[in-house]
Structure formats: C-alpha cells, structure tokens
Amino acid sequence: MKYTHLILAPLILLLCTCGPASESQVVTQSNSQTVGQADKPNVIFIYLDDLGYGDVGAYGATELKTPNIDALATGGVRFTNGYASSATCTPSRYALLTGIYPWRNQDAKILPGTAPLIIDTGQITVPKMLKNKGYHTGIVGKWHLGLGTGNVNWNERVSPGPNEVGFDYGYIMAATQDRVPTVYLEDGYVVGLEKDDPIEIDYKNNYPGQPTGKDNPELLTMKWHHGHNSTIVNGVPRIGFMKGGEKAKWSDVDMADHFLAYAQRYVKEHKEEPFFLYYALQQPHVPRTPHPRFVGTSGLGPRGDVIVEADWCIGEFMTTLREEGLLENTLIVLTSDNGPVLNDGYYDNAVEKNGSHTSAGPLRGGKYSLFEAGTRVPFITYWKGKIEPKVSDALVCQMDLLSSIAALVETTTDPVDGQNLLSAFMGTSDQGREELVIEATSRTALREGDWIMIPPYPGHPVNKQVNIELGNDKTYQLYNLKDDLGQQTNLAEANPEKLAAMVEAFEAIRGVQTAETHQLKLE
C-alpha cells in the first residue's frame, strides 16, 4: 500500500506537466543528455553524520581513502572555512533546514527517539521553499528532529514529521542508529510493521522480561562503553527501550545499501521534474556497522570502514546521477552535521585502530566541542559544468544554504539568520560571512574574520568519556585562526581591545549572557 504513491507520482506529474505552460521542460542535448529545467536546477544535500574535517582525502587525510568525496571536492568548491551550525546533530540539522541559529530554539538539543518535532510546521524550510517553487522534495536517511507532538503511537501514522515541514517524500530513521526505535519510517508509517506485533518505546523504563545491554552482556555482539545499555537490537545495545516490531527492525549492516537504494530510486523517479533530495547518511556515527564487504577495508577498524562504505555509497549515487543525465543540472552540497569522535559509547576499536589518522585534521577538539573541530567540517559544493573547481577560504555555514538556494531559484524567504552567500557557494566570490556564532551543547562562541572568541564556561575542559577537549575555560579565550589554526595560543590577555570588541559583538547577536558568564567577565 505505502508504495502506491510512488507508482502514481510519475503518472500524476506527467499529467500535470503536459500543458502548454511547460515549454522549458526537458532540455536534451545531442551528445550528453541533460534532464531538467534550466531555471530550476535540482538541489541535493549529501549529509554525513560525525565526519571530521580530517576524515577526507581532499582535506588532508592520508591514512583513509575517500576517492568519491575527493572527486566532488576537486571538481567543485572545497571550503576550508565551512561550518556546521552546531557541534551536535539535532541543532545542526535544525539550522540546515530552517536557516535559524539553533540556540534560538530551546528544543534544538540532542533528542531522544520519542521527542516531538522541533520545527514549527508554519516555519519556512529548505524543502518548503523549494516546494513553493514547484520542486518535488524528498529526504532519505537520518532525521533526528523529533516526530509527532508527544506520546507518539508508532503503530499509526506518525506526524507531524518530514512531510509536514516540506518534504513530499520521507524515508527516514527517526533519531540515530544508536537510539530506538530501530525501524524505518516511510511518509510517517513504520516500514514492515505487523499489526499483531505493535511497537512500544520508552526512554525511562524497560518492559518486563526484556533483556538489556546492562543486564545481559552475553547477548551482545558490540559492547557498550558509556550510555547505550538499554534494549538490544541485532546484538547491539541501544539508548532507550523498545518492545515489539520484530519484523520492522532494520538490519544495521544493510543500512548504507538501503538508504543508497532509496536515494537512487528517488532521483530516478523524480528526474523529470525539479527536485530537492536531502540524502542523510548515517556514517560514521555509532554504532559503526559496516556491511561485511567493507569490513577491514580501511585498516582503521569499523570507524574507517564505514567512512570507506559511505564514500562508496556517494560514488554509486553519483554514478546514478551521471547515468540519468542529471549532473549538469544539479547543485550538490556535501557536508557533515558535526565534527568527529572516536569513542562515542561503544568498544569498537575506533581508538585502538586509529593509528596516525587525525579525524580532526589540524583542528583542536571534536564533536561536542567549541574548538574548531566541533563545527568546522568538510564542506563541498559541486555542479558539473557550472561550478569551476577551486578552494575557497570564504566563511560559510550550513545555515546559509536556505537563503542562498532561495536566491538560486530566484525567490526570497522570511528573514532568517542565514545569509545569501550564493556566489561563494558557486565559487564566483570569496566573500563569505563577516561573523558566525557557533554552538556546542548549548554553549556559544563568536567567529569574526580570522578571530574566534570563546566566552568563559565553567564546565570541565575535557569530556573524559569521549576524550575530547570541549573548549571550556574559566577565562575568555581568543585565537587568531590564520596564525594559529590549532588554537594553541590564547591571545585574550595580550589583545584586550580585540577581546572587548568581540565580546560586544557577540553579546549584540546573542543577547544578554547568563549571569554566570557575565560574572566571570566582570572579574
């Protein structure tokens, strides 16, 4: 039943686009076939999960091979100052889709699988803006922006969700690969759910008699290091408790192939109309479960193997775009939701097998950090024949994509925090943002020109579980990233004027700071 609309969709489209108004429809050239409308290029986001600045060959990785991502980087604009909006997933994805700073939304924090949708259904989003311009819009992959309005019944249509914020089609995992429910949802319905085996989800209490990672280590194929000790699915202990839905549970090792197949099917089915696809891969987030054919391929253990797997998926996806004649009429943006982490809660040898690979490259910190590696990520724009290859130092953020793509399709949006940086994304200008507020687990800092100012935060400087420096310090930190990319020399004391100017600029954007931070400032 749930596939019916996919079969009907092309038919309906055909009926809708046959009228006299469709003169600009399909452009066919003699040698290379170009499908699509010249004034409405397709837009694709390829979004990775926890891929670090140093995890990509084109960004300097030598121990890890990523030929397909490298091909996009060397054939398009490779940004050296491209930022996720946050050092964790949910806030980054919120900003990516809405163009709004995540710290403006109290709910834009790492969400449990039972969290309600955090995007207002009245709010403009990238898919909604493009839908208004006549695009078909789809998401395949990780969602993690909440579903429903609270107390979701997973056995009925789950809404609001992707469909209600602008996606005509959604094939998603609700939260993360390490969180329940471990099922796919297609347009709000759990895929493969059987009526007599309903799903129940609880993030507080277990269901009587159900094994857990904590109590049943003998059932595990992957051991938990911190967190991740609740319901066991496919031998992997997860965050949260789940009961039922046996037939609907995903296969972890097949997830990459599965999302790839749906992404490929989406572009094939919608190639005759302008489309937007948000292809949100699950790698290299935990649990790292490469398909057996990728096990051992990187020499760096499962984390490296799933990056090799993701790179392969991207290559296959690009082949589909090429074969379908879509490359000349499609803007592709490839980036990651936050920086890298090795041990994020499972014993999976990510640390032990890492060797000399530096997932953060030359940057300090990692996922969860206010230091650069938390938010500065691989960021590539690619458009065959339209974007000239270059390396750009322009300061850009994922939050800017909404306004920039609006400009590309000749429309505007309500005012948002994101800026129209279309020329930077197209590589025709090196002019990026003047400033950017970055966020990491509800803390914020200001980047302005080559400088970054991190206000005092009282927390521990290192998250010992993940072994990442978070950027916390009792005093202000000020770094000149041009001279000191690795943030080794705090210039706050040596440069009081610059510090004062940046604190003022930061507070002007951010509003009044917490009493605690303010207190520290006055000391």
Asked if residue 375 binds ligand NG6 (CB under 6 A), the reply is no
Asked if residue 344 binds ligand NG6 (CB under 6 A), the reply is yes
When the beta carbons of 130 and 236 are compared against ligand NG6, the nearer one is 236
Minimum distance, C-beta of residue 255 to Ca ion, in the bound complex (Å): 15
Rounded Cα distance, 230 and 239, in Å: 6
- What CA–CA distances, in Å, run from 296 to 14, 129, 349? 46, 43, 12
When the beta carbons of 90 and 125 are compared against ligand NG6, the nearer one is 90
- Count of chain residues binding ligand NG6 (CB under 6 A): 17
When the beta carbons of 54 and 113 are compared against ligand NG6, the nearer one is 113
Q: Where are the alpha helices (DSSP H) in 85-218?
A: 89-98, 126-132
- Residue 373 binding target from Ca ion, ligand NG6, none, CB below 5 to 8 Å by type: none
Of the candidates 78, 77, 69, which has an alpha carbon nearest to the alpha carbon of residue 315? 69
Q: Using CB under 6 A, which of the segments 226-234, 269-277, 358-366, 419-427 binds ligand NG6?
A: 226-234
Q: Are 226 and 345 in contact (CB under 8 A)?
A: yes
- Residue 344 binding target from Ca ion, ligand NG6, none, CB below 5 to 8 Å by type: ligand NG6
Q: Which residue has the tokens 């339209």?
A: 386
When the beta carbons of 36 and 340 are compared against Ca ion, the nearer one is 340
Q: Which of 65, 78, 144, 249 binds ligand NG6 (CB under 6 A)?
A: 144
Rounded Cα distance, 276 and 161, in Å: 17
Site string for ligand NG6, 26-65 (x = CB under 6 A): -----------------------xx---------------
Asked if residue 345 binds ligand NG6 (CB under 6 A), the reply is yes
| HSE-up (13 A, CA, CB side) for residue 243 | 13
Q: Is the dihedral of CA 370, 344, 84, 175 positive or negative?
A: negative
- Residue 176 binding target from Ca ion, ligand NG6, none, CB below 5 to 8 Å by type: ligand NG6
- Residue 281 binding target from ligand NG6, Ca ion, none, CB below 5 to 8 Å by type: none
| Nearest residue to ligand NG6, scored by beta-carbon proximity | 227
- In this structure, what token pair is assigned to residue 276? 């937007």
Q: Which of 43, 56, 77, 89 binds ligand NG6 (CB under 6 A)?
A: 89
Minimum distance, C-beta of residue 252 to Ca ion, in the bound complex (Å): 17
When the beta carbons of 260 and 286 are compared against ligand NG6, the nearer one is 286
Q: Which residue has the tokens 């770094």?
A: 479
- In this structure, what token pair is assigned to residue 299? 């020499």
Q: Are 187 and 163 in contact (CB under 8 A)?
A: yes
Rounded Cα distance, 503 and 395, in Å: 20
Give the distance from CA 108 to its chain's centroid.
14
Asked if residue 178 binds ligand NG6 (CB under 6 A), the reply is yes
Asked if residue 236 binds ligand NG6 (CB under 6 A), the reply is no
DSSP states of 444-456: EEEEETTEEEE--
Q: Which residue spans within 383-465 are E strands per DSSP?
A: 390-392, 396-397, 435-440, 443-448, 451-454, 462-463
Give the distance from CA 450 to its chain's centroid.
25
The DSSP H or E segment spanning 468 is: strand 468-469
Tell me if residue 62 falls in helix, strand or coil: coil
Give the interface with Ca ion as residue ranges (CB under 5 A).
49-50, 89, 337-338
* Beta-strand pair 451-454/275-280: unpaired
Minimum distance, C-beta of residue 84 to Ca ion, in the bound complex (Å): 9
When the beta carbons of 50 and 305 are compared against Ca ion, the nearer one is 50
- Residue 303 binding target from ligand NG6, Ca ion, none, CB below 5 to 8 Å by type: none
When the beta carbons of 113 and 188 are compared against Ca ion, the nearer one is 113
- In this structure, what token pair is assigned to residue 471? 């950027």
Q: Using CB under 6 A, which of the segments 193-201, 221-229, 393-401, 425-433 binds ligand NG6?
A: 221-229
The C-alpha angle with vertex 170 and arms to 168 and 175, in degrees rounded to 5, equals 140
Q: What burial class does residue 14 get, using C-beta atoms within 10 Å of its C-beta: 0-12 exposed, 13-18 middle, 19+ buried?
A: exposed
Asked if residue 286 binds ligand NG6 (CB under 6 A), the reply is yes
Q: Where are the alpha helices (DSSP H) in 177-254?
A: none
Question: Quick one: DSSP state of residue 171?
Answer: E
User: What residues contact residue 523 under an 8 Å CB cut-off, 6+ apart?
Assistant: none
Minimum distance, C-beta of residue 289 to ligand NG6, in the bound complex (Å): 14
When the beta carbons of 337 and 473 are compared against Ca ion, the nearer one is 337
Minimum distance, C-beta of residue 244 to ligand NG6, in the bound complex (Å): 23
When the beta carbons of 142 and 243 are compared against Ca ion, the nearer one is 142
- Residue 286 binding target from ligand NG6, Ca ion, none, CB below 5 to 8 Å by type: ligand NG6
Q: Using CB under 6 A, which of the segments 121-129, 225-233, 270-278, 431-439 binds ligand NG6?
A: 225-233
Asked if residue 282 binds ligand NG6 (CB under 6 A), the reply is no
Q: Is the dihedral of CA 71, 72, 73, 75 positive or negative?
A: positive
Q: Which of residues 91-130 bind ligand NG6 (CB under 6 A)?
A: 110
- Residue 227 binding target from ligand NG6, Ca ion, none, CB below 5 to 8 Å by type: ligand NG6
Minimum distance, C-beta of residue 89 to ligand NG6, in the bound complex (Å): 3
Q: Which of 239, 402, 421, 454 binds ligand NG6 (CB under 6 A)?
A: 239
* Beta-strand pair 390-392/77-79: parallel
Q: Are 99 and 407 in contact (CB under 8 A)?
A: no
When the beta carbons of 71 and 239 are compared against ligand NG6, the nearer one is 239
Asked if residue 176 binds ligand NG6 (CB under 6 A), the reply is yes
Contacts with ligand NG6 by CB under 6 A lie at 49-50, 88-89, 110, 144, 176, 178, 226-228, 239, 285-286, 338, 344-345
